[in-house]
Amino acid sequence: MGNVWSGQWVADRLGVRLDGDGDGDGCWVGEERLGGAGGWVGDGGQGGAGDRVGDGGQGALGGDGGSGPGGDGGSGASGGGVRVGGGDGDGGQGALGGDGGSGASGGGVRVGGTDGDGGQGAQRGDGVGGGNGDGGRGGGDGDGGQGAQRGDGVGGGNGEGGRGGGGHQVIQGGSSDGGGRQGIQDGGDDGDGRQGVHRGDGGAALRELLGLALRRNPKRAHLLVSNVLGKHVPQRPATVHGAGVRLGRRVRELLGDEAAARAVVLGYAETATGLGHSVADGLALAPYLHSTRRPVPGVATVGGFEEEHSHATSHLLLPEDPALLASTGPLVLVDDEFSTGRTVLNTIAALHRRFPRDHYVVVALVDMRSPGDRARLDAFAADLGARVDLVAAAAGAVHLPDDVLERGARLVAAHEAAAADQEGAPGPTAPPAGAALRVDLGWPEGLPDGGRHGFTPAHRACLEAALPTMATRLAAALTQGPDLPRRPLRRVLVLGFEELMYAPLRIAEALDEALDGVEVRYSTTTRSPVLAVDDPGYAIRTRLTFPAHDGPADGPGPRYAYNVAPGTDPDRRFDAVVAVVDSTADTPALHAPDGLLAALGAQTDRLVLVALPSYRPQTPPTPRSVPERQAPHMHQPSYEPLRGPDFSSYAPEEVGWLLQDFSHVTLEAPTEEREEAIQSGGAHYAESLPVEYQPNERYQELFRAALDASAARIARAVGAVTELVLAERSPRPVLVSLARAGTPVGVLMRRWARHAHGLDLPHYAISIVRGRGIDTAALRWLADHHDPSDVVFVDGWTGKGAITRELSDAVAPYPDFDPRIAVLADPGRCVDTYGTRDDFLVPSACLNSTVSGLISRTVLRADLVGPNDFHGAKYYRELAGSDVSGHFLDTVSARFAEVAEAAAADAGRLAATDRTPTWEGWAAVERISQEYGIHDVNLVKPGVGETTRVLLRRVPWKILAQRGAGADLDHVRLLAEQRGVPVEEIDGLPYTCVGLIHPRYTRGATGADGKAVGTAHTATSKANMTDITGEANTADSTGKASTADSTTGKANTADIAGRDERTVAAR
């Protein structure tokens, strides 16, 4: 890394500041530019192989103590061993500094042990500023002059290294001639058994771990680039592995061996898969699993979650043994960066509902949370009733100016063209390599290539035994043979592949031991797009771009390898590159002229390909794909589900919306204009939105009263339909509600499954549009992330069954999906999975977005939705003050316990009943359409729910009510009164009520067929009505209606067909 921080370029241009706050637990990083062969630092306390200290420059920080030699110094500072506190008892001897060059001495620093004697201080190497000291006491020989006194009680407290002493003390470096540095060191607290914290210059410590880069992202312009993760920055493999191992050992110290043996380690794809493996190595006793974005046919999904700030967010959990996550021991969650903490907390919350436990440990290289995020973790743990610990290597904060997003966007735009020109520019020193040499390493049969399906301590032992032989084979391929380039092998890169991080890392580490005098580095490819700027003060200096080559579930797209090409610095060139992929990714796309191997071959003299066998659990096959003609990879949607609080007021785990966010688009139109455009054929109802109805206080009181009165009835129906689904459709259903009326019901069904069975069911909302069909892009997304046979479509209620028929037709080309819909209420008798067939008020029908998570109706318009895009909707954040979505769900959910027995009995009775749809509702609608001269079944809306929608969204003509209907129609009568719509009571109606939309509505036409409808009765009294657009309307029964726009004052008139109960017109 030289003397330039790899985040300086971004910091200078964006005004970004990286500060450490001292709350981390020690930092260490290998130097990127090193002089010679590095030594080793032993593992503190427990011995064993430590982590390599880099040679030359400043030297890598050491491992947890030990007494191995530091790296030999170059002409600059020596290798600086750092001893981070030992375990219980003697802290052990500090790491040895390396031999000094002509500059400053080796800078050994002993950070106090927890209990017992702090041990001997770090020993200086011979040469400039050499010598030793107990905690830094010693002077030195040579040109550096005598080192400054270090002080007696490193870490404060008693004695040398002390037993803790909560205070900190400044540790001065060598004399001015010695060029020593200053740091601050805290001891551990008395008796807590935990190691001290190397705080030093917190910002400097973080800058050793992190660089900065830019990306095109409207929410976060900067990217923290880890120097020890092995993803974007090629690094010494021992440094990468050691970073995780040290964290794992600290987790083991925290838990104790008994709890550690019952723990499970869970890593996050894609960047933390290798880190999680390494943490598990340090923990030693626990199995490991990482999330994945690659569905595996035949392997059931035990869980899944979304990553909120990632460009690719869907995580699947696919353990070979489904019981892996069901243990009651601690769950250790590993990610590279703990920023807001929201993704980790969402994961814990989701898993806790299904696999509750009393202890969670979150592990990260850096903890960058704000004070508010830290408080959120404390509150979360208290609410969960579980212990949540955090272990991080360093802590701090990124300080951003207010205009960072705008400045970042401008910088990205300005440099993208230049970056494209330099992308993949070959190094200036050699011609490209020929075809890749394929090498079979002899990977042990049956050994998983990673933790996608689980990786146990026994697997780890098998790998450890095989690594030396595999490294020998690989070293021979790189150094032997008649066709090898004449250039000596000086620098080698082992390049892993996206989630496949751990196996290439361990291979690289073993290769480093097998190759004497060769610098081995390790990094991996990624799907994360980042701007490259070839500047020493920027973390991503070069970028190779190539197509995805593993047939990803979300379709084709670009992939990247960073800092592999040397750019303008020939010293950064790798003489050989070893590309390690799994067999799934060993495809023609990998070998294509624009593929990864071609891009790598242009950068190096020797190119080796290692393809490890992709591990497939031995489980019975499970069908999961839709027909190929319906879901070619090139048409996969690139979107991921939207979740609250960024989209909707629902909690993120309640529902994922398979929609685009159209909140920034003006889509609302006055109701009469929409109705005229729709009925004239000039527009479809899904191309615009009605202005959201704003209920007055009287209506809100009616909603609350209706909810209180019907909550138990709704809860019972929710229970019955959910039990039917679990018994008849799938034991692990994937609920897919039809946005948006079906979504509250889907949330309630999900809550019932959790309440009654402890199941954490996935739930998504999808768009379906009458006359246009279902969102096929969203359907393909579901097929790629779940077994289609597990998908259960959910809606609120049925009317005449139009959407039921629409869904059946729309899903027909996708035979793996079951088109049968599950509903709360089926008064139309057109489905076979329901909670009741009573036509009663579901209070969620009383309101629009304010009871549906503040989401609008879905929108499908050609200029906004392409053939491969999700449909869209709006999030009405401005209506938050009127939102009752959570109140509705909580009120109904609170009645689950009291109705559980009755709901189970209902489900049993329904299971034994012939529930074949009779479509009685559709026949009644056709009859009413003819009798009332409408001649269009789409303008007849049967049932309480559909009638309510007519009054809220459309231009209602009249309401037909079942004679004697009671409180279920109170809100209908109120809305009809407000809109001046007559309510006609009749006998023999198969529904509680039916809403009639004004037939053939235009501003000049009346009647069912565009002609005036005769009336036998007229009334002169006018009824005032206020519609959802905010316009004041008056209508009399002579057929004249005038509208006065409340904002413009302009009046429009429209003849509305008048007909009362004594008239049958246009039969």
Q: For residues 929 and 899, state if they share a domain.
A: no
Q: For residues 342 and 376, state if they share a domain.
A: yes
pLDDT, tens digit (0-9, with 9 covering 90-100), for 850-880: 899 999 989 988 778 887 889 999 999 888 8
Is the pLDDT confidence value at 408 over 60? Answer: yes
Q: For residues 839 and 936, state if they share a domain.
A: no
pLDDT, tens digit (0-9, with 9 covering 90-100), for 50-78: 333 333 333 333 333 333 333 333 333 33
Backbone angles phi, psi at 774, to 5 degrees: -85, 160
Looking at this protein, which amino acid is placed at residue 233?
A: V
DSSP string covering 607-633: EEEEEEPPP---------PPPGGG--G
Would residue 455 count as lying in a domain?
no
The model's confidence at residue 344, banded by pLDDT at 50, 70 and 90, is: confident
CB 713 within 8 A of CB 835: no
Residue labelled with tokens 């043996």: 261
pLDDT greater at residue 399 or residue 467: 467
Residue 917 CA to its chain's centroid (Å): 40
CA–CA gap between residue 952 and residue 950 (Å, rounded): 5
Other C-beta atoms closer than 10 Å to the C-beta of 732 total 16
pLDDT, tens digit (0-9, with 9 covering 90-100), for 681-710: 545 667 778 777 677 787 788 788 888 888
Q: For residues 829 and 975, state if they share a domain.
A: no
CA–CA gap between residue 630 and residue 810 (Å, rounded): 12
Counting every residue written for the chain, the total comes to 1067
Lowest-confidence segment of 159-163, 912-916, 958-962 by average pLDDT = 159-163
Q: For residues 873 and 970, state if they share a domain.
A: no
**Upper half-sphere CA count for residue 2 (Cβ side, 13 Å):** 12
Would residue 567 count as lying in a domain?
no
Cis peptide upstream of residue 270 (ω within 30 degrees of 0)? yes
pLDDT greater at residue 395 or residue 305: 395
Is the pLDDT confidence value at 930 over 90? Answer: no
Would residue 663 count as lying in a domain?
yes
pLDDT at 671: 53
Is the pLDDT confidence value at 32 over 50? Answer: no
CB 190 within 8 A of CB 164: yes
- Quick one: what percent of the chain has pLDDT higher than 70? 69
Name, in order, each residue with C-beta under 8 angstroms of 172's C-beta and a sequence gap of 6 or more: 136, 148, 149, 150, 151, 180, 182
Residue ending a domain, among 400, 427, 455, is 400
CA–CA gap between residue 934 and residue 949 (Å, rounded): 19
Highest mean pLDDT among 208-217, 311-320, 1043-1052: 208-217
Containing 613, the helix (H) or strand (E) segment is: none
pLDDT at 414: 80
Q: For residues 779 and 847, state if they share a domain.
A: yes
Backbone angles phi, psi at 944, to 5 degrees: -60, -45
| Among the listed residues 853, 900, 851, 892, the one whose alpha carbon sits nearest the alpha carbon of residue 709 | 892
Residue ending a domain, among 911, 943, 964, is 911
- What's 285's domain CATH number? 3.40.50.2020
Name, in order, each residue with C-beta under 8 angstroms of 428's C-beta and a sequence gap of 6 or more: 570
Lowest-confidence segment of 16-20, 172-176, 269-273, 996-1000 by average pLDDT = 172-176
Highest mean pLDDT among 370-379, 585-594, 934-943: 585-594
CB 31 within 8 A of CB 56: yes
Strand order across the beta sheet in which 1023-1026 lies: 1023-1026, 1032-1035, 1040-1044, 1051-1055
Would residue 842 count as lying in a domain?
yes
pLDDT, tens digit (0-9, with 9 covering 90-100), for 608-623: 999 999 998 865 433 3
pLDDT at 1044: 34
CB 554 within 8 A of CB 638: yes
**Upper half-sphere CA count for residue 329 (Cβ side, 13 Å):** 21
Mean of pLDDT values over 1039-1056: 32
CA–CA gap between residue 341 and residue 780 (Å, rounded): 30
CA–CA gap between residue 520 and residue 498 (Å, rounded): 19
The model's confidence at residue 1008, banded by pLDDT at 50, 70 and 90, is: very low
First to last CA, the chain: 87
For the CA atoms of 696, 702, 708, 714, the dihedral, rounded to the nearest 10 degrees, stands at -100
Name, in order, each residue with C-beta under 8 angstroms of 509's C-beta and a sequence gap of 6 or more: 237, 238, 241, 467, 522
Q: For residues 1043 and 1001, state if they share a domain.
A: yes
Name, in order, each residue with C-beta under 8 angstroms of 537's C-beta and a sequence gap of 6 or more: 4, 5, 6, 7, 8, 9, 12
Containing 676, the helix (H) or strand (E) segment is: helix 671-679
pLDDT at 306: 57
Is the pLDDT confidence value at 189 over 50? Answer: no
* CB-based burial label for 697 (10 Å; 0-12, 13-18, 19+): exposed
Compute CA distances 621 → 298, 618, 624, 787, whole Å.
Answer: 4, 9, 9, 11
The model's confidence at residue 1000, banded by pLDDT at 50, 70 and 90, is: low
Q: For residues 875 and 997, state if they share a domain.
A: no
Is the pLDDT confidence value at 482 over 80? Answer: no
Q: For residues 906 and 925, state if they share a domain.
A: no
pLDDT greater at residue 755 or residue 700: 755
**Which stretches of 515-626 are DSSP H helices?**
588-591, 596-601
pLDDT, tens digit (0-9, with 9 covering 90-100), for 290-302: 999 888 877 877 7
Can you list the positions of beta strands (E) in 821-944? 821-825, 833-836, 872-873, 940-942
- What's 1044's domain CATH number? 3.30.1330.30
Residue ending a domain, among 385, 400, 415, is 400
| Among the listed residues 23, 19, 25, the one whose alpha carbon sits nearest the alpha carbon of residue 398 | 19
Would residue 708 count as lying in a domain?
yes
The model's confidence at residue 745, banded by pLDDT at 50, 70 and 90, is: very high
Residue 352: helix, strand or coil by DSSP? helix
Residue 845: helix, strand or coil by DSSP? helix
The model's confidence at residue 235, banded by pLDDT at 50, 70 and 90, is: very high
Q: For residues 902 and 943, state if they share a domain.
A: no
Name, in order, each residue with C-beta under 8 angstroms of 560's C-beta and a sequence gap of 6 or more: 525, 526, 527, 528, 529, 530, 543, 544, 545, 546
Would residue 596 count as lying in a domain?
no
CA–CA gap between residue 72 and residue 563 (Å, rounded): 26
CA–CA gap between residue 689 and residue 667 (Å, rounded): 6
DSSP string covering 487-547: S---EEEEEEBTTB-HHHHHHHHHHHHHSTT-EEEEEE-BS--------TTSS---EEEEE
Highest mean pLDDT among 36-45, 680-689, 728-737, 769-778: 728-737
> How is residue 330 written in tokens?
């601690």
Residue 1042 CA to its chain's centroid (Å): 52
CA–CA gap between residue 84 and residue 930 (Å, rounded): 86
| Among the listed residues 524, 514, 521, the one whose alpha carbon sits nearest the alpha carbon of residue 467 | 514
CB 939 within 8 A of CB 758: no
CB 494 within 8 A of CB 466: no
DSSP state letter for 251: H
CA–CA gap between residue 290 and residue 316 (Å, rounded): 9
CA–CA gap between residue 744 and residue 306 (Å, rounded): 20
> Considering just the CA atoms, what is the radius of gyration of the chain in Å?
34
Q: For residues 281 and 387, state if they share a domain.
A: yes
CA–CA gap between residue 394 and residue 511 (Å, rounded): 29
Would residue 316 count as lying in a domain?
yes
Q: For residues 1004 and 892, state if they share a domain.
A: no
Q: How many domains does the chain have?
A: 3
pLDDT greater at residue 675 or residue 254: 254
pLDDT greater at residue 78 or residue 766: 766
Q: Which domain holds residue 1033?
A: 920-1055
Would residue 329 count as lying in a domain?
yes
pLDDT, tens digit (0-9, with 9 covering 90-100), for 108-122: 333 333 333 333 333
Mean of pLDDT values over 646-668: 90
Residue labelled with tokens 């039921």: 804
**Which stretches of 642-772 are DSSP H helices?**
671-679, 697-728, 742-757
CB 310 within 8 A of CB 340: no
- Quick one: what percent of the chain has pLDDT higher than 90? 38
Is the pLDDT confidence value at 967 over 80? Answer: no
pLDDT at 57: 35
Backbone angles phi, psi at 554, to 5 degrees: -90, 15
The model's confidence at residue 377, banded by pLDDT at 50, 70 and 90, is: confident
pLDDT greater at residue 773 or residue 82: 773
User: Helices 896-911 and 742-757 meet at what angle, rounded to 10?
Assistant: 100
Mean of pLDDT values over 242-250: 97
DSSP state letter for 235: B
Q: Mean pLDDT over all residues of the chain?
A: 73
Lowest-confidence segment of 479-488, 630-639, 1054-1063 by average pLDDT = 1054-1063
641: left (phi over 0), alpha (psi -120 to 50) or beta: beta
pLDDT at 1024: 31
